[in-house]
């Protein structure tokens, strides 16, 4: 099985889990729906920010390796 198919399968299963949780919260604990969505937003922002910082650090590290030592 290729890497893309495995990745797509993981995304589908994750999407299913999210959809099921969203429906369950909406039906069983509607008063928590807003909080759930806010936490998801914070998580998305955190992971996006973390990725950006990681790319910047890797770029800086690569430039330090390429620059000659004085």
pLDDT value of position 35: 94
67: left (phi over 0), alpha (psi -120 to 50) or beta: beta
Per-residue pLDDT of the chain (70 residues; tens, 9 = 90+): 466 655 565 567 777 888 888 899 999 999 999 999 999 899 988 988 999 999 999 998 888 887 766 5
Domain extents in the chain: 3-66
The pTM is what? 0.57
């Amino acid at each position: 099985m290729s890497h893309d198919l495995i990745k797509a399968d993981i995304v589908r299963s994750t999407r299913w889990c999210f959809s099921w949780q969203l429906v369950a919260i909406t039906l069983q604990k509607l008063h928590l729906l807003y909080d759930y969505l806010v936490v998801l937003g914070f998580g998305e922002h955190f992971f996006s920010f973390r990725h950006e910082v990681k790319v910047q650090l890797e770029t800086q590290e690569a430039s330090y390796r390429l620059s000659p030592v004085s």
